A = this chain, B = another copy of it.
Amino acid sequence: MTRLYERVALIGLGLIASSMAHGMRGRGLAGEIVGTARSPETRAIAAGDGLVDRVTETAAEAVQGADLVVLAAPVGVMGSIAEEIAPHLARGATVTDVGSVKRAVVTDVGPHIPDGVTFIPGHPLAGTEHSGPRSGFAELFENRWCLLLPDENTDPAALARLRQLWEALGSNVDLMDPDHHDLVLAVTSHTPHLIAYTMVGVADDLRRVTDSEVIKYSAAGFRDFTRIAASDPVMWRDVFLTNKDATLEILGRFTEELFALQRAIRTGDGAQLEAYFARTRAIRRGIIEAGQDTEAPDFGRGSVKR
């Protein structure tokens, strides 16, 4: 494939950045890939594994001469990284990010971006429950949506090139505005994660049901929640702190509905329960038809052998 950028700087080397590194390298999309991370341990692993071409100690060093800078750190530190790298950004560079919340990133990062540099917020809707520099793989973005959030001043050529990068990594690209993004993701990601964390926490806390029982008998539904609740705690802390309004709005809707179903259980209203449970199948069908999940029973994982 065509080389799209001469030097890409990855700020943060977790699941998303390491997957981008593998993907860009395998497809020859970048001349040089430079990476940095706040933790010395992560930097040492990345250097030892040869995850990127060059590991730097600071973000300021990493971005020097880069024509693409990818902020791939928790949303809560994006602003301070932007402040640190701003004086070192090359004229004509594009800065993007991969954070799960977008309004906060626009607010925190935007003001630091110097003239002559284009900032295009982004969010690849891809991930697994694993994290860290060794969790990445080149195929992570294949057939997944990546949202880009340009504004009316965004340089069209810079946007087209970034779009090409994500498409070359296998993604489908859509454009969206930050507030709508944050609401959509509150529905498709943030609230489900909070609920999963809560359910796993409840199970872990109960005195009358042991952890060993929860673990042995988890195949009845609970284990799916534990996968989601195994995601990176710091990343998720920042998601909820920075997408507060939309998450609280969707949580409010969720508890309202849950209370209605709880009342139906208490009063024995079988018709209401059955009607509610019947209508949710259509959306599953839509997801499978859109190629966003497998039709195979139980995600195709079958029986798990030791």
Listed in ascending order, the chain A residues whose CB lies under 8 Å from chain B are 76, 100, 125-130, 135, 137, 139-140, 142-145, 147, 170, 174, 183-185, 187-189, 191-206, 208-209, 211-231, 233-234, 236-238, 240-241, 244, 247-248, 250-251, 253-255, 257-258, 261-262, 264-266, 268, 270, 273-274, 276-284, 286-287, 290-294, 296-306
Contacts and interface: CB of A to CB of B under 8 A. Distances in A.
Given A145-B216, A283-B211, A301-B293, A201 B248 contact: no
Given A293-B227, A301-B301, A277 B236 contact: yes
A301 B299 contact: yes
Interface SS, A side: helix
B265 A248 contact: yes
B225 A202 contact: no
Contact of A268 (B183, B185, B230, B241): B241
A172 to B, nearest CB: 8
Q: Which of A215, A238, A268, A280 has the most CB of B within 10 A?
A: A280
B204 A279 contact: yes
A305 B142 CA distance: 9
Q: 4 closest Cβ contacts across the A-B interface? A: A128-B297, A189-B220, A233-B277, A142-B303
Contacts of A224: 192, 224, 227-228
Contacts of A280: 197, 200-201, 204, 226, 229-230
A204 B287 CA distance: 12
Contacts of A287: 215, 218, 223, 226
Given A273-B236, A292-B304, A303-B139, A226 B184 contact: no
Contacts of A299: 227, 299-301
A295 to B, nearest CB: 9
Given A135-B297, A221-B192, A278-B233, A266 B248 contact: yes
Contacts of A188: 203, 213-214, 217-218, 220-222
